[in-house]
Structure 1
Amino acid sequence: MPVLHPVGPLRARVYWRRRLVVLAVLLAVLGAGAWGTVLLFRGGTDSADGAVAERAGAAPRTPALAQVVPSLSAVRTPVPPPAAQEMAAAAESAAAQTPAPAAPPEPAPGGPCTDDMLAIEVRTPGSAVVGSKPVFELVVTNASAVPCVRDLDKGLQELILLDGGGARVWGSNDCFPESGADVRTLAPGEVVVFPVTWGGLSSTPGCAAERTPPPRGDYAVRGRLDTKSSPDAPLTLT
């Protein structure tokens, strides 16, 4: 047969090589066509599936990051145990039921003037020459809203002079003590002033020590009415 036994001027193996080459090309073309058909079919199916999923309202796929990191809504806040809640509620209830501290009773009009109802103050000239005789004032004020009664006896009044270190230098009752009943009813806001002259010399209780003029410097004068004391008032000796 001429197909199996080629006839021509060339050798037979030349014709066989040509036939093998044509056969290989034909097989390659057929294989490429078949692969393209498969790809075309798969692509059409994916597109059709996507369209059907879109028309059916299917949910989109979850991104890979959302699969790894949980959403904040999924994190649960720890809830205190029931015992702790009951204790907190009991504490709030006890605090709500605790009565407020009672206000101190108002002073009765015409009663005694307690120390809380009085204001004591000392007034000084601010400065004085060493050896001079400055005048101090002990000021007593009824700071309450009602009239009250207080004994303003001279023996209950006292002024003392203190040096910069707080040491006692002079006292108004050391050498010339006075006494005598002086019970008064003080109206609300009433002010009573008692002037006291200092002789300019030091003194000790009982006036037993030698009296000398204190040196120049800064001092303080403190007043007292029985158990009620005043703030210190400054005095400078020049």
Structure 2
Amino acid sequence: MLDPQGPLPPEIYWRRRALAVGVLVVVLAVIIGLIFWVTSDGGGKNTANSTDLSGTPSYALPSAYSDPSASASGVPGVSGGSGGGGEVAAPGESPAAGEPGIPGGTPAGETPQPVPASGLCPDQNISVVLYTDKPAYTEGEQPIFTIAVTNAGLSECTRDVGKAMQSVTVLNLAGDRRIWASGDCAPVEGVNNQLLKPGQQVKDTIDWSGTTSTPGCETVRQPVAPGSYQAVARIGEKPSAPITFNVNRPAAQ
């Protein structure tokens, strides 16, 4: 099988076979060289260069557990948090008690005081917030006021939040004419000392008949006229911020 067959001398056939084998070896060497070159660093560099030339830079996505105090993340429009930044609250998340100017926190301009040896809450350490069950009432309806008392200090303390210490006063919208006060005609006695931890809140309600009154209930009570009014609550000498509400005429039949 290996001996050349044909009309030509055997040397010619051997030379042809040697040439074919040589060409095959060269082709295999070229293929192996190309494979090695593509998988080597040289091929990787060319790939990177082609990416740069395309004009589309690549960015590393920030880690899901990256340090928020790190610098820029490398993503366009996204920067890392600064070291001095505070926490941002999630949508819908309420501010914590103790923040200035926040209902339930320390009122703006007041600083919590140390709790005295008696353990009683100083006025500076409590927040008093008043609100109604509705923003507007029809003439003849009876509003319900809610008083919320919060320990806005840094230590637990005791406060008397009983009915005798509660009061709600309704005034005209300008605040210069007294309409009604909860203690005018139905003063209530009683003590309700509550030990309040920082941020703890207690609530109570006071109903209003929707009529006028004077101290000692010495005048005939009249239904209040339709209009806008303001109200202020107190726990002892500690007032709330004023709130407003409306009294409307009944809808025409």
Q: What is the TM-score when the length of structure 2 is the normalising length?
A: 0.51
**Distance in 1 separating the partners of 2:237 and 2:204:** 17
Taking the aligned partners of 1:105 and 1:151, their CA distance within structure 2 comes to 18
**Structure with max Cα Rg:** 1
Deviation per CA, 1:45-84: give whole Å up to 9, x if none.
Answer: xxxxxxxxxxxxxxxxxxxxxxxxxxxxxxxxxxxxxxxx
CA RMSD of aligned residues (A): 2.0
**Structure having greater relative contact order (Cα 8 Å, sep ≥ 6):** 1
Structure 2 spans left out of the alignment, 5+ residues: 1-110, 249-253
Match of 1:200 among 204, 207, 210: 210
Aligned pairs, how many?
136
Q: 1:107 to 1:210 in 2, by over 3 A?
A: same
- Change in Cα spacing, 1:110 to 1:145, as seen in structure 2 (3 Å) is farther
Q: Distance in 2 between matches of 1:164 and 1:188?
A: 34
Cα distance in 2 between the residues matched to 1:211 and 1:220: 19
Shift of 1:107: 3.5
Distance in 2 separating the partners of 1:190 and 1:123: 18
1:141 aligns with 2:141: no
Give identity over the alignment, percent: 32
How far apart are the structure 1 equivalents of 2:231 and 2:240? 9
Do 1:158 and 1:173's aligned partners in 2 also have CA atoms closer than 8 Å? yes
Quickly say closer, same or farther: Cα 1:155–1:104, change in 2 above 3 A: closer
Deviation at 1:165, TM superposition (A): 3.0
Question: Corresponding residue for 2:125?
Answer: 117
Give the alignment partner of residue 225 of structure 1, picking from 228, 231, 235: 235
- Tell me, what secondary structure is at the counterpart of 1:189? coil
User: Which is richer in helix?
Assistant: 1
Map 1:1-238 onto structure 2 (within 5 A).
106-107=114-115, 111-124=119-132, 125-166=134-175, 167-238=177-248
Deviation per residue, 1:174-213 (Å, 9 max, x gap): 1111111211111111111111111111111111111111
Question: CA offsets per residue over residues 26-60 of structure 1, 9 Å max, x none?
Answer: xxxxxxxxxxxxxxxxxxxxxxxxxxxxxxxxxxx
CA distance in 2, matches of 1:190, 1:181: 19
Alpha-carbon distance in structure 2 between the residues aligned to 1:203 and 1:159? 12
Aligned-residue offset at 1:144: 1.0
The answer to whether the Cα contact below 8 Å between 2:163 and 2:189 also exists between their aligned partners in 1 is yes
- TM-score of the superposed pair, with normalisation by structure 1: 0.54
Deviation at 1:105, TM superposition (A): 6.7
Contact 2:112 2:152 in 1 (8 A): no
Q: Deviations over 1:11-38 (max 9, x none)?
A: xxxxxxxxxxxxxxxxxxxxxxxxxxxx
* Distance of aligned partners of 1:230 and 1:172 in 2 relative to their CA distance in 1, 3 Å threshold: same
Q: What secondary structure sits across from 2:188 in the alignment? A: coil
Q: CA deviation at 1:220?
A: 0.5
**Aligned mates of 2:187, 2:115 — CA distance in 1:** 33
* 2-structure distance, mates of 1:104, 1:187: 14
Look up the equivalent residue of 2:160 and give its one-letter code.
D
Q: Distance in 1 between matches of 2:141 and 2:209?
A: 7
Aligned equivalents of 1:154 and 1:218: distance in 2?
27
Verify the 8 A CA contact 1:152 1:181 in the aligned structure 2.
yes
Q: Which amino acid aligns with 2:123?
A: D
